[in-house]
Structure 1
Amino acid sequence: MRMVATSTSLRYFFKPLGIQALADIFPYHRIFEDGMKTESLCLHAGYEPQNGEPRVVPITQSTTFRYESTAAVARLFDLEDAGFFYTRLGNPTVDAVERKIAALEGGVGALCTSSGQAASMLALLNIAQSGDHVVSASSIYGGTFNLFAVTLKKLGIEFTFVDQNASDAELEKAFRPNTRAVFGETLTNPSMDVLDIERFARLAHRHRLPLLVDSTFATPVLCRPFEYGADIVIHSTTKYMDGHALQMGGVIVDSGNFDWTSGKFPEFTEPDPSYHGLVYTTAFGKAAYIVKARVQLMRDMGCCQSPQGAFYINQGLETLPLRMERHCRNAEKAASFLQEHSKVASVNYPRLPDNANKALADKYLPDGCSGVISFSLKGGREAGVRFIDSLKMISLEVHVADIRTCVLHPASSTHRQLTDEQLHDAGITPGTIRLSVGLEHIDDILADLAQALEQA
């Protein structure tokens, strides 16, 4: 059985995977040592042009790459040598974005996907298969809920959905001998509840399981879940990371902290016959999870990001800290305005002083809770329709986290597959409205909200 875990082979560097001695896995480790802050990492991490090279990450618009010998290509396919050979598995432009996002989260590696849904799917399929079980918070994005409760269920993976605010004793009841992971969202979509990441991490680790956290709304600018014990972080880069409603995408980031050798995850510790008996934990150490996700699942599923798409995402990442600060400040003012309006029944935004999630927000999101607000009108579904149809500047869109303010009625759109009971479990009422506050002047945002509320 051939392995690549010798002291010499660990010096090889299959570029997209980060196969190298851990001290040198990625160039951004040096950047961290230099003490760069998030704002600087957004501009400089992932790509360091050499003398005479393009300052901006170039688009390597090629599906394939030329080599001079069959032996060289064979070493690539055996994960022994450095290089790119097919854009489905790795591309220089996509690689630069993966490195940047991994740097921002503080992980050992990242894998870009074609969408946030693809990222969630691959993240779980990398550790769960038919006959396995996953514990998930119930108040998650409707598309993710449907992926778990319907599609992955058809593949034989069972999910138990729990109230993330339940007691530890109650949550413990959800675990089974075949449970393989715990899943939650930093800021739930659209109910805007804050996950107690440390508590869920302790719960997962007590069972020797990884905690997977979708941190799309928070972004690494507002919260870095690895610092609180999460093991894998997922983002829909379509949202704030892109920020301009240009490019679909997702990303999986590996902390490198979880011990896959506990005995519960033989797929990481036993030979992979599709790579000549390679053992991921032996060959790749802390990067075992993210390497396996790429060379096994991306190889077979093919839901990769394109070079052009990665270029757009990188453009968004460069201004992410500036945009998130403005999104947060505008949303705080909009939430306060809505809370004081006579036609509004309730507002859920964690930064509000009397919000049930305020303490968790102070702990995990001290700089802001993104631009997304969930609120309900006293007139219910009909009032919500009148309100939305009366908006002028604010757009009705099946989207969120755009630079432009937009609004959506989840019960009739993103969460329409859910039953009333499932809607309730997800923290949504028939009259719930999701408002994504953009970067316009706050006076214009409030004026449009005010005139539409008069019609509600």
Structure 2
Amino acid sequence: MNEEQTDSLGFGTRCVHAGQEQPDPATGARAPPIYQTSSYVFDDAGTAADRYALDDDGNVYSRFDNPTVSMLERRLASLENGTAAVATGSGMAALDAATSILASNGDNIVSAASIYGGTHSYFSNMATRRGVEPRYVDTLDPDAYAEAIDDNTAYVHIESIANPSLVVPDFEAVAEVAHDHGVPLFVDNTFGTPALCNPLDHGADIIWESTTKWIHGSGTTVGGVLVDGGSFPWDEYPEKFPEIGTESVAFDGTNFAADFGDQAFAVAARQRAIRSLGDGQKPFDAWVTMQGAETLALRMERHCENAMTVAEFLRDHDDVAWVNYPGLDDHEGHDIASTYLDGGYGGIVTFGLAGGYEASKRVCEETDLAQFLANIGDAKTLIIHPASTTHAQLSEEEQRASGVTPNLLRLSVGIEDPDDIVADLEQAINSAEEA
């Protein structure tokens, strides 16, 4: 079986086989080998020169290319329906690499307001130090994106399922706005995962994702990925995106758009960002993540089923003021979510207690099965109070704009028996309210 044949197979099959269609040619091992090496021997001087000039795609140095990592990259590119992928040391490293390639001093980024607190902090506190201005708009209003974009906009950014408001933007409408202004649509698909959502099929140009979460799924390994959709016409905007569309002084005149076609962004991100910043994913981490990816389709089914059970339980609880889950009919984005999500509405449920800020914080201390920690997408059920943790760096106004209220609790629903999850939440809510 070759790569082309694999890409024609079903999603669950690609979770298992994409990226490593054949046994290891050196040993016959069927499991992917871990190439734990820093560097690679060149056959001759000509080969070495060609690899440094990007005329030969063989390995050079594991800071930015490694055979084990390449297997994971091919698997994730296949699952996201992309042309190529670049694995990074974390999700935030993926965001930083893309921003380094696409934006420079004097540019701006137009982003949905309802996004992960760490992303908001990166835009507002790191990108600004490089002279890049973030502009936040109503996540669900395509006209707001259009009004914010100007000639200096580097990209438009949204999340497939917003963290933590859980609204799903209208991908196609936002993509149309972005493309009308000559800028790419950049989507964080961490909450959606390729098991539920394929933004590249709905107008997105680039995906980024934290592989730490559902793709790996066990809470042991940090990683991220950039996936190139191969759709954006970089060659039509060479001055706007000089790292991709003009001759690179770093590589003796290489023009990534002209020389690498529908993989131009991925190659540029690897060679001009990951190579320089040292943000590539490590071989062992990639190997472990590949093991997790094999069960992604199965796990997401259980995450979604359990999340719906939990959401319905919380909706009927007297001490719960509100529940937010895209799968519920009364969720403000239920119809859009039903359009863009396939096979489930995700593994995150948010809710707030009638007792307010203090009671909601107390729930995190009272759960037993649900673990109080700052992660999502684990096989285990996880809980956190964003206003005092993940979004604490934002002002109350910024928290509200991103969908965080003082009493909001974010629950990452695991794959345990749903009755046990519900029982744990019930006793924790009761204890918190009594306190």
What letter is aligned with 2:305? R
Instruction: Look up the match of 1:236.
Output: 210
Instruction: Look up the match of 2:17.
Output: 44
Which of 311, 322, 338 is matched with 2:314 structurally?
Answer: 338
Query: Does 2:183 align with 1:216?
Result: no
Q: How big is each residue's C-alpha offset from its partner over 1:200-255, in whole Å with a ceiling of 9 and x where there is no partner?
A: 10110110110000000111110111110000001100000110001000000000
Equivalent residue runs for 1:287-366 within 5 Å:
287-366=263-342
Which of 21, 25, 29 is matched with 1:54 structurally?
Answer: 29
Shift of 1:391: 1.1
Which of 201, 210, 221 is matched with 2:175 structurally?
Answer: 201
Instruction: Look up the match of 2:152.
Output: 178
Distance 1:276 1:422 in 2: 45
Instruction: Look up the match of 2:65.
Output: 90
SS in 2 for 1:451: helix
SS in 2 for 1:173: helix
CA contact (8 A) 2:321 2:353 kept: yes
CA contact (8 A) 2:167 2:337 kept: no
SS in 2 for 1:241: coil
Distance 1:335 1:171 in 2: 31
SS in 1 for 2:95: helix
Shift of 1:366: 3.4
Query: Does 2:41 align with 1:71?
Result: no
Give the % identical residues. Answer: 41
Q: How big is each residue's C-alpha offset from its partner over 1:360-396, in whole Å with a ceiling of 9 and x where there is no partner?
A: 1110113112211111111111111222221111110
Q: How big is each residue's C-alpha offset from its partner over 1:279-319, in whole Å with a ceiling of 9 and x where there is no partner?
A: 11111111111100001111111111110000110010000
Distance 1:178 1:229 in 2: 21
CA contact (8 A) 2:244 2:264 kept: yes
Instruction: Look up the match of 1:142.
Output: 117
Shift of 1:27: 5.0
SS in 2 for 1:118: helix
Query: Does 2:235 align with 1:261?
Result: yes
SS in 2 for 1:246: coil
Distance 1:229 1:171 in 2: 15
Instruction: Look up the match of 1:31.
Output: 6
CA contact (8 A) 1:388 1:407 kept: yes
CA contact (8 A) 1:348 1:374 kept: yes
CA contact (8 A) 2:92 2:224 kept: yes
Gaps of 5+ in 2: none
Instruction: Look up the match of 1:283.
Output: 259
Instruction: Look up the match of 2:428.
Output: 452
CA contact (8 A) 2:321 2:354 kept: yes
Query: Does 2:397 align with 1:424?
Result: no
Distance 2:144 2:347 in 1: 32
What letter is aligned with 1:409? H
Q: How big is each residue's C-alpha offset from its partner over 1:2-27, in whole Å with a ceiling of 9 and x where there is no partner?
A: xxxxxxxxxxxxxxxxxxxxxxxx95
CA contact (8 A) 1:28 1:103 kept: no
CA contact (8 A) 2:243 2:268 kept: no
With structure 1 as the length reference, what TM-score do the two structures score? 0.92
Distance 2:244 2:302 in 1: 42
Distance 1:30 1:276 in 2: 36
What letter is aligned with 2:40? F
Instruction: Look up the match of 2:364.
Output: 388
Root-mean-square deviation (CA, aligned residues, Å) is 1.3
Distance 1:171 1:56 in 2: 46
What letter is aligned with 1:234? W
CA contact (8 A) 2:93 2:279 kept: yes
SS in 2 for 1:126: helix
CA contact (8 A) 1:405 1:436 kept: yes
What letter is aligned with 2:143? A
Shift of 1:39: 0.3
SS in 1 for 2:321: strand
With structure 2 as the length reference, what TM-score do the two structures score? 0.96
SS in 1 for 2:322: strand
Distance 1:82 1:268 in 2: 18
Distance 1:295 1:169 in 2: 36
What letter is aligned with 2:108? H
How many pairs align?
A: 428
SS in 2 for 1:183: strand
Is 185-194 or 326-335 further displaced after alignment? 185-194
Q: How big is each residue's C-alpha offset from its partner over 1:31-61, in whole Å with a ceiling of 9 and x where there is no partner?
A: 22xx310000011100122465211111001
Shift of 1:169: 3.4
CA contact (8 A) 1:405 1:437 kept: yes
Shift of 1:170: 3.3
What letter is aligned with 1:199? A
